[in-house]
Amino acid sequence: MPETRNKVECAHCCAVLPDGNTSPCPECGKKGRRISVSVAGEIDFAGHVTWEKRREFYERKPLALVTVIAITAGAPFLGLVLVGWVGVIAGLMLGAVAYWIGPLAITKVREIERGG
Ligand SMILES: [Zn+2]
């Protein structure tokens, strides 16, 4: 990320003033400031190249994944075994379990390496 720097100078005698200073210039006593904004980081004086390597992949957790698949595939069959409100409640509970396990089954891993 480029870094911006504000340089505050007196508009009359070019003395460097502290950033945020609104009082008159301590050198010449006049008011009037000149602010120059410089962006550091875009020009690399040292000549070396900055680099960034990103690697994104999905890490699978086999046990959690199998559980989620089993719940997802098995939930509709609960209606065959459990009739009425028991089946509804059991289905909701399994749905909640799948909801919590789901994010664990497949985790997005992001590796960022920087150099320069
Ligand atoms: Zn001045």
Dist. CA 15 → ligand 1 center (Å)? 6
Dist. CA 29 → ligand 1 center (Å)? 6
Q: What is the mean pLDDT of residues 68-78?
A: 76
Confidence (pTM): 0.32
In the chain, domain spans? 3-40, 51-115
Alpha helices in 1-116 (DSSP H): 62-81, 85-105
Measured in whole angstroms, the distance separating CA 7 from the mean position of its chain's CA atoms is: 30
Dist. CA 8 → ligand 1 center (Å)? 11
Residues 29-43: pLDDT tens digits?
988 888 777 655 555
Q: What are residue 77's phi and psi, to 5 degrees?
A: -80, -10
Dist. CA 105 → ligand 1 center (Å)? 65
Residues 4-63: pLDDT tens digits?
667 788 889 988 888 766 788 889 998 888 877 765 555 555 555 566 677 777 777 777
